[in-house]
Amino acid sequence: MNPVVISGEDRRRYRDKVRRCLDVLARMLGESQFDFERPCIGLEIELNLIDALGDPLMRNADVLKAIADPAWATELGQFNLEINIPPRQLGGAGTGELEVEVRDHLAHAGARAHELGASLVMIGILPTLRRSDIGEETMSANARYKMLNDQIFAARGEELDIAIDGPEPLRMHADCITPEAACTSVQFHLQVSPDHFGRYWNAAQAVAGAQIALGANSPYLFGHRLDSETRITLFEQATDTRPDELKAQGVRPRVWFGERWITSVFDLFEENTRYFPALLPLCDDEDPVAVLDEGRIPELGELSLHNGTIYRWNRPIYAVVEGRPHLRVENRVLPAGPTVADVVANGAFYYGLVRSLAEEERPIWTRMSFAAAEENLHRAARDGMDATLYWPGMGEVPAAELVLRKLLPLAYKGLDLWRVDPSRRDRLLGIIERRCLSGQTGASWQIDTVAAIGGPRHEALRRMTQNYTQLMETNDPVHTWPVG
């Protein structure tokens, strides 16, 4: 595949177009044009393909063709797939069917995959990945992935450095972005009004550390035991466009927690424009000013494309749905898995918690520094449920204690405000409570199971992955899984 040549004129046109889109977004926010009367939620899950031994299988195009469902798409690596679950109202009847719907999708896809000798696995990082599985030749056949790879390395001017500490530290170089494909996550979407966007985004940032502590599921990479949620550090490093000199100058990373609480969604899009050069400077034909002047709703394609190459852990989304513009917070901090029940329980905890925090009279972000929220994220990624997190009024506290004493009651309150059925609320948040009480997350189960199996590391990782896949398919929450 021939590389796409990007000229200086392409970049100038794109920068001008992004700024024009930003001006139009400001007008739309001022004119209150957004649809938010019935807030919707959405869900995306990234998965891995494995063969009968538990090793990665590079056949996503074949499996996608066999599944034959538009909800499914390829991802960066040939061993990745993604499913996009249709949006639904939060608190409506559709909320209760979410778990059943996701399980049905996965059962159908799994049956088609089995016909090709493949299985689907929801896990933060596939434990059996080896360095030989990560190269440009294992990238999915998509021109945009190729262009993104070329542009990141053109910006860096040198290989990627992967350096992750942990019990078995990893140091390696990579000449393409496919290490990013090792990171498979869940994305929770929440539609919010422009007036409340800042409050919900701030709330999501404040709870990111607690989410990761509860949901950690990525302790192994390339045979090394690393952080409980290694995916966080790997993703930060695998898409870094900065050589060391630019890091030393304080240039912002493209995988970014951010650096301040916000008051408006405009703050985030404006930061994108101010701090980050384009990676995919592709312009469409829409004139957003003319479209808005004609009383129609612009797609703001360049603004959205640029936003999609800045990997915030809580990303703002602008979209036009059925002719109406809306805004979403896309929560990207959690790994995939272990089961659909765990994923939906993690979602219930998140949606309930951010609702409560966003509506507090004295918001959390007025009592907690932004740096403390970011420190919580990295502590939780390193130590999982064993992390000590900071929370105003409690100080430094074990993650499980923070969730049980403070955050779970807020999540219950928030789900009541969303009018979620009490029986569904109790089942899902009960999973979170019992995970805290048992201390068993996906990460700790993986570590304990590999230790119980013993023997050569890769063979132990294969057997653990096979056991994990079988338990995943039962939908019994991870806190109930037997070790070994």
Q: Give DSSP secondary structure letters for 1-52.
A: -PPPP--HHHHHHHHHHHHHHHHHHHHHHHTT----SS-EEEEEEEEEEE-T
Q: Over the stretch 429-462, which tens digit does the pLDDT of each residue have?
A: 999 999 999 999 999 999 999 999 999 999 999 9
The residue among 76 and 330 whose pLDDT is bigger is 330
Query: Residues 389-394: contacts with CB within 8 Å, 24+ apart?
Result: 389/209, 389/210, 389/213, 392/364, 392/367, 392/368, 393/367
The average pLDDT across 155-169 equals 90
Q: How far is CA 74 from the centre of its chain?
A: 16
Under 8 Å between Cβ of 411 and 349: yes
Tell me the average pLDDT across 183-194: 96
Half-sphere exposure of 109 (CA within 13 A, CB side): 30
**Structure-block tokens of residue 371:** 């740096």
In this prediction, residue 312 carries a pLDDT of 97
Q: Name the pLDDT band for 94 (thresholds 50, 70, 90).
A: low
Indicate whether 410 pLDDT > 90: yes
CA distance 338 to 331: 18
Strand partners of residue 389? 397
Q: In which band, very low, low, confident or very high, does the pLDDT at 151 lie, cut at 50, 70 and 90?
A: confident
* Chain-centre distance for alpha carbon 86: 17
Under 8 Å between Cβ of 298 and 24: yes
262 vs 202: CA distance, rounded Å:
7
The pLDDT of residue 156: 80
pLDDT of 226 reads 98
User: Is the pLDDT score of 49 beyond 70?
Assistant: yes
**Structure confidence by residue, pLDDT tens digits, 52-89:** 999 999 999 999 999 999 999 998 899 999 999 989 88
Give per-residue burial for 373-398: e unless 16+ CB within 10 Å, then b: bbebbbbbbbbbbbbbbbbeeeeebb
pLDDT for position 97: 85
- Per residue in 364-383, pLDDT (tens digit) is 999 999 999 999 999 999 99
The model's pTM is: 0.96
In terms of phi and psi (left: phi > 0; alpha: psi -120 to 50; beta: otherwise), the region of 283 is: beta
Range of weakest confidence among 33-37, 69-73, 172-176: 33-37
Q: What average pLDDT does the structure give for the chain?
A: 93
State residue 1's pLDDT score.
44
pLDDT band for position 170 (cuts 50, 70, 90): very high
Confidence band of 342 (pLDDT split at 50, 70, 90): very high
Least confident piece of the model among 279-293, 355-369, 428-442, 469-483 = 279-293
pLDDT value at residue 96: 64
Per-residue pLDDT tens digits for 295-316: 999 999 999 999 999 999 999 9
Bigger pLDDT: 164 vs 178: 164
- CA–CA distance, 346 with 344 (Å, rounded to integer): 5
Which band of pLDDT confidence, cut at 50, 70 and 90, is reported for residue 4? low
pLDDT of residue 155: 78
